Amino acid sequence: ETAPQQVADEPLLSIDEISKTFGTEVAVEELSLAVEDGELLTLLGPSGCGKTTTLRLIAGLERPDTGAIRVDGRPIATGENTFVPPDARDIGVVFQDFALFPHMTAAENIAFGIDDWPESEQQRRVAELLDLVGLGEQGDSRPEELSGGQQQRVALARSLAPEPTILLLDEPFSNLDVDLRVEMREEVRRILKETGVTAVSVTHDQEEALSISDRVAVMHDGRLEQVGRPESVFQRPKSRFVAGFLGHASFLSGYVRGDEVDTTVASIDRDQVHGLASQYDMTEIDVLVRPDDVLAYPTTEAEADGRVTYRRYLGPSVLYRVELDSGETVECMHNHSESLDLDTPVSVTLTADHELVWFPKGSPSR
Ligand code: ATP
């Protein structure tokens, strides 16, 4: 028998229909995913959706019940017998708590995974990594002498030292202060892109996923809901779950009539509704609207579409929830200078000039 040939356009990491059950709990269900060479892909989803289990399956810390995981076309784990142990996978992991050795300096921590390299090679690699992560002067510092962001830089450098094929990052920013989180997102992305390593990250924070990733894989109940570029999962969610998990989502009931879709607040040009096939003529659909797609302005009781039932001041903007007379709820985002009191009768207008996504009535996806 000949060994399987590597196909030129084979993804670097491919996951084929893997499932993992703990007792009766299905953590991951028939998940398939392909990660390209040099790509940063983020697994995003709520707590318990199976993202950590997926990461652990790739790392070799769990075995799949069924399915296969391949790197460069070679199986590293299958539901049958193949199981390459974690330390033979050429896969690095950056843990949530960084897991640095407290008694070692930054340089020693970074050298830990390459202690079998010749001394001079180790030193060269450590210096190169300290530079890469912006810690050229901190090589002799111990973790306790470093800030959270610096500790994360050391953890990243340590995982990158052996030049892994794939780097896995488990909730990489959850141990950092909010301010530092945003700064480190940019830094981590820069560092990963500079090394060209293929990376899979895990988070439940949609803003983080959208801002650092080449592609985002949205998980729900152990399954993959949608995978795509940040803009595409945000602007073209394929399910109500994805729509709602990636940002505030309101659904306006719309009746499809000829070239228009009639909703309680506006008549929408059919062309503005993405891919609305003729089979939906004369039917009710739900149109997705985000808070920046609508505006509410005060008006008389007689003219009003509804009233303000919720107000959240966010600094630069204010989020309002409007309860429409039709019983529907719509959220809108206003500039902070425009203030509406609770209970104000308002008219709602649709200001969106981009294509709108819709869902068939009663169906979670389309
Ligand atoms: P979180 O963000 O809370 O870590 P997650 O999306 O990473 O959530 P997983 O940790 O992968 O989700 O867990 C998926 C499901 O599998 C959960 O219901 C969890 O309770 C269950 N689970 C995970 N690991 C184990 C285990 N070792 N034993 C039993 N059940 C487990």
Angle subtended at Cα 25 by Cα 202 and Cα 55, rounded to the nearest 5 degrees: 20
Residue 346 to residue 267: CA distance in whole angstroms: 17
* Residue 350's CATH number: 2.40.50.140
**What is the residue-level pLDDT of the chain in tens, covering all 366 positions?**
455 555 557 899 999 999 999 999 999 999 999 999 999 999 999 999 999 999 999 999 999 999 999 999 999 999 998 999 999 999 999 988 888 999 999 999 999 989 999 999 999 999 999 999 999 999 999 999 999 999 999 999 999 999 999 999 999 898 888 888 888 999 999 999 999 999 999 999 999 999 999 999 999 999 999 999 999 999 999 999 999 999 999 999 999 999 999 999 999 999 999 989 889 999 999 999 999 999 999 999 999 999 999 999 998 899 999 999 999 999 999 987 778 999 999 999 999 999 999 999 988 887
Q: What single-letter DSSP state applies at residue 70?
A: E
CA 233 to ligand 1 center in whole angstroms = 24
Residues facing 262 on adjacent strands:
255, 267
- Determine contact, residues 170/98, Cβ cutoff 8 Å: no
222-241: burial string, b at 16+ Cβ within 10 Å, e else: bebbbbbebeebbbbbbbbb
Q: Does 214 fall in a domain? A: yes
ipTM, two decimals: 0.93
Q: Does 156 fall in a domain? A: no
Q: What single-letter DSSP state applies at residue 102?
A: T
CA 222 to ligand 1 center in whole angstroms = 9
Q: HSE (CB half, 13 Å, CA atoms) of 264?
A: 21
Q: Does 331 fall in a domain? A: yes
For residue 176, the enclosing domain spans: 13-90+164-243
- Determine contact, residues 265/346, Cβ cutoff 8 Å: no
Choice from 24, 25, 61 to test ligand 1 binding pocket (greatest atom count within 8 A of CB): 25
Instruction: Tell me which residue has its CA closest to atom 30 in ligand 1.
Output: 22
Indicate the pairing of strand 260-262 with strand 250-257.
antiparallel
pTM summary value: 0.91
Residues 172 and 317 in one domain: no
Residue 45 to residue 346: CA distance in whole angstroms: 35
Choice from 18, 52, 169 to test ligand 1 binding pocket (greatest atom count within 8 A of CB): 52
Q: Does 314 fall in a domain? A: yes
Instruction: Tell me which residue has its CA closest to atom 11 in ligand 1.
Output: 50
- Split into its structural domains, the chain has a count of 2
* Residue 200's CATH number: 3.40.50.300
Instruction: Tell me which residue has its CA closest to atom 18 in ligand 1.
Output: 48
CA 366 to ligand 1 center in whole angstroms = 28
Residues 311 and 338 in one domain: yes
CA 211 to ligand 1 center in whole angstroms = 25
- Determine contact, residues 275/294, Cβ cutoff 8 Å: no
Q: What single-letter DSSP state applies at residue 363?
A: -
CA 26 to ligand 1 center in whole angstroms = 9
Choice from 29, 53, 55 to test ligand 1 binding pocket (greatest atom count within 8 A of CB): 53
Domain final position from 243, 277, 305: 243
Pocket, ligand 1, Cβ cutoff 6 A: 22, 25, 27, 45, 47-53, 204
- Determine contact, residues 69/78, Cβ cutoff 8 Å: yes
Q: What ligand 1 atom has the least distance to the C-alpha of 55? A: 11
Closest CA to 18 of 8, 9, 27, 10: 27
Domain final position from 198, 227, 243: 243
Residues 214 and 352 in one domain: no
Q: What ligand 1 atom has the least distance to the C-alpha of 20? A: 16
Domain final position from 243, 271, 303: 243
Q: Does 121 fall in a domain? A: no
